[in-house]
């Protein structure tokens, strides 16, 4: 993952989620039969998917590196 930290990946994911929210709130306009879109929602959603996978992969790597204590439930 070329040196990207979990914190950086979470920040990027949050940015993409914020962008999606803004686009859904009306950054696309129709006027006199013409459409103006300030951002491409499909590209934003692809970014969300990519950063979500990175966050999950980094979390998985971190959790594998941690030791856990398992106690029997007798």
Q: Could you read off the pLDDT of 4-14 as tens digits, one per residue?
A: 899 999 999 99
Q: What is the pLDDT of residue 23?
A: 82
* 72 or 43, higher pLDDT: 43
Radius of gyration of the chain (CA): 19
Buried b (16+ CB within 10 A) or exposed e, 42-57: eebeebbeebbebbee
Q: What is the pLDDT of residues 20-70, one digit of tens each?
A: 888 888 776 777 788 877 778 889 999 999 999 999 999 998 888 765 555
Tokens of 14: 């949050």
């Amino acid at each position: 993952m070329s040196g990207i930290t979990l914190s950086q990946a979470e920040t990027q994911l949050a940015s993409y989620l914020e962008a999606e929210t803004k686009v859904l709130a009306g950054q696309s306009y129709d006027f006199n039969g013409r459409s103006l879109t300030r951002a491409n929602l499909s590209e934003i959603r692809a970014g969300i998917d990519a950063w979500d996978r990175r966050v999950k992969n980094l979390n998985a790597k971190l959790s594998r590196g941690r030791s856990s204590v398992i106690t029997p439930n007798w």
